[in-house]
Homo-oligomer: A and B are copies of this chain.
Amino acid sequence: MYSVGIDIGGTSIKSGIVDEDGNILAQSAIPTVPSKGFELMVKEMAEEVDKLLSDQKISIDKVKGIGVGIPGIADNNSGIVRVAVNLGWRNVDLRAEFKKYFNTEIGLSNDANCAALGEQRFGSGRGFSDVVFVTIGTGVGSGIVVNGKLVAGNGSAGGESGHIVIVYDGNPCNCGRRGCWEAYASATALIGPTKKKMEEYPDSIMYEIAKAEGKVSGRTAFRAMDAGDVPAKEVVEQYLDYVASGLISLTNVLHPEAFLIGGGVSHEGDNLILPLKAKIDEYVHTSGMYPEVEVKQATLGNSAGLLGASALV
């Protein structure tokens, strides 16, 4: 049997046919054009899927179902997308619309949840049934998988781990509240402390790095640390402690087998993964009888969403 995954992004909509081992047999991409409106967008997705299936000579009765990843709030129970700002969708019945074209199971979830399921099933989380996927980039997002199934919360409103408060009354967050993990652990949150440290240390290598990149970014301190810059190392160490604080809070609540780390910052690789693992180990070992929690870099990259969507059905 096969599954179809559709990953709706801000610029393109990817569709793919996936086998039970997570191999993408065929895929295609069309541009995301919200001005076409909901019904036409779904019609074009259905046409893409039809084309892929006929190219691969796979009949629809060999397809378990179609899973769709959405950049917004998508409730798999009702089949309704409550809101997807960038698509201009609000309270649209995605399941019913797809059912006009396909007599098969239709699953939907938000993009971070799909990526979590994709990584758990086919990527860095293969072999684990309980994982938390954390994507660290412009913001901090997450998806929770327990017993191989998404834990999306009532109305699919859970998995917003970026907004747990780690610093009571702390830095303002984009969400309107204060002290959220995202306000300390996102790539964006690295920029302020990097600039501040640069002001304190006018000789820091961070100046060269920033000049070469044209700006101070979430990478500046990491690259300067690699080049032996001590102030940059301090910035990174403080940052990693904030990242770890949130991961340890999630460990207390969910104690997954593994954290799977994706997003732009995950490309720091061992610079990020090893210190985070050490900090979580310290917590787990202090508390005594608890099993270890692995920390792994996500491996599927841009395919995680499509593969995870296919695993919704």
CA distance A255 to B249 in the complex (A): 16
User: Which of the candidate stretches A58-66, A158-166, A197-205 sits at the interface with the other chain?
Assistant: A158-166
Can you show 6 pairs from A to B with CB atoms below 8 A apart?
Answer: A142-B253, A144-B254, A146-B146, A151-B254, A168-B245, A177-B286
Q: Which of these, B158, B175, B291, contacts A255 with CB under 8 Å?
A: B158
List, in ascending order, chain B residues with CB within 8 A of A103's CB: none
For residue A214, CB closer than 8 A to chain B, the reply is no
Interface residues of A in 69-99 (CB under 8 A from B): 73, 82-83
- Asked whether A252 and B158 contact (CB < 8 A) given A286-B176, A288-B83, the answer is yes
Query: What is the 8 Å Cβ interface bit string for chain A, positions 143-183, against chain B (1 contact, 0 not)?
Result: 01010000101110111111111111010000111000000
Q: Are B168 and A255 in contact (CB under 8 A)?
A: no
For residue A256, CB closer than 8 A to chain B, the reply is yes
Q: Which of these, B252, B255, B283, contacts A155 with CB under 8 Å?
A: B255
Known: A73-B290, A146-B151, A176-B286. 20 other contacts (CB 8 A): A73-B289, A130-B154, A146-B146, A151-B151, A151-B254, A153-B253, A153-B254, A153-B256, A154-B256, A155-B255, A155-B291, A158-B251, A158-B255, A160-B252, A160-B253, A164-B249, A175-B287, A177-B248, A177-B283, A253-B254
Interface residues of A in 235-286 (CB under 8 A from B): 242, 245, 248-257, 283, 286
Q: Are A164 and B167 in contact (CB under 8 A)?
A: no
List, in ascending order, chain B residues with CB within 8 A of A210's CB: none
Q: Are B146 and A130 in contact (CB under 8 A)?
A: no
CA distance A181 to B177 in the complex (A): 18
